[in-house]
Structure 1
Amino acid sequence: MPHTSLIIHFVWATWDRIDMIDETWERPLYAQICHEATRLEASVLALGGTGNHLHLLVGLKPIIAPAVFIGEIKGSSSFVVNQQKWFGGHFQWQGDYSAFSVSRWDKPKIIAYVNSQKEHHANGTIKSQLELPPSKR
């Protein structure tokens, strides 16, 4: 029986990196993302972000490509935000995303980093290599 360990750290932003994600609906958004990840047979290890971008650390099965996975996550979550009218206008993610493979030895550090996104951005302690490149939409 094959053994795989595919841990991926995804980062993606709102359209034009506008602060669209409000704390009043952040939890239901995160719940929806976790639900969709589970539907796609992924294990959510950490999820966090700020008003204009999210970080998601997942364990993927080798049956789904990372690009397909994140496309499903972004598509379903923006659909729910718009359907529920959480944003109050049209909500959209940027087309781009970042995806980094993570070793099992680095996993605890990345989990801590993802779970404390608000603090890292407030304190200026972000790790640029784990963030998004400049916006291209």
Structure 2
Amino acid sequence: MSYTRIWVHLVFATKHRAPLLSTDIRYKIQRHIIQNCKEKSIYLQSINGYTDHMHCLIVLGRDQTIAKIAQLIKGESAFWINKNQLTKQHFVWQDDYFAISVSESIVPKVVAYIKNQEQHHAKKSFENEWNEFTARYGFQIDQD
């Protein structure tokens, strides 16, 4: 049997970073994503977000890819949001996402960071955070 433990910090935003995720809606979506991950054997350690994005800390299974996990989480949750009419307009996640590996030694720090998103974004916008992430990790961003 093969064993893996690859932590990934996955961040994705609403289309055009529209602030559609009020606290009530965000918590409903988070509970749904947690349940959906359990059903799809996706190990989700932590989830939280703010008005325009979500953070997930996941462990990749031995036959899972980041792209497939992102597709399963984003696609199914957008379908569920629209089916349940949680937003006044048609809901779509942005096509892109941010995913970075996380060392086992800093998992508690990442969990705390994800847990404190509301306090964090009271001081820093998601756009500023996104720009810092992309600069820190050397990502080239296509503007749409």
TM-score normalized with structure 2 length: 0.85
Structure 1 residue 123: deviation in Å? 2.1
Give 5+ residue unaligned stretches, structure 2: none
Take 1:11 and 1:29, find their aligned partners in 2: how far apart are those partners? 15
Aligned Cα root-mean-square deviation (Å): 2.2
Shift of 1:83: 0.6
| 1:119–1:60 distance in 2 versus 1, CA, 3 Å | same
Please list the CA deviations of residues 13-50 of structure 1 after superposition, one character each: whole Å capped at 9, or x if unmatched.
Answer: 00000101111222220011111212221221111111
Distance (Å, rounded) in 2 between the aligned partners of 1:40 and 1:136 = 32
Using structure 1 for the length normalisation, give the TM-score.
Answer: 0.89
Q: Which moved more, 1:90-99 or 1:29-38?
A: 29-38
Distance 2:25 2:46 in 1: 18
Any conservation in 1 of the 2:42–2:61 contact (CA below 8 Å)? yes
* Match status 1:12 vs 2:12: yes
- Corresponding residue for 1:129? 133
CA distance 1:71–1:33, shift in 2 (3 Å): same
| Aligned residue in 2 for 1:109 | 109
Identity of aligned residues (%): 28
SS of alignment partner, residue 96 of structure 1: coil
8 Å contact kept, 1:45–1:59: yes
Q: Matched residues in 1 for 2:84 and 2:48: separation?
A: 21
Please say if 1:2 is aligned against 2:2: yes
The number of aligned residues is 136
SS at match of 2:105: coil
Distance in 1 between residues matched to 2:77 and 2:116, nearest whole Å: 21
Specify which structure has the higher proportion of helix.
2
CA distance in 1, matches of 2:34, 2:21: 16
| SS of residue matched to 2:100 | strand
- Where in structure 2 are the equivalents of 1:92-103 lying within 5 Å? 92-103=92-103
What SS does the corresponding residue of 1:94 show, helix, strand or coil?
coil
1:80 counterpart residue number = 80
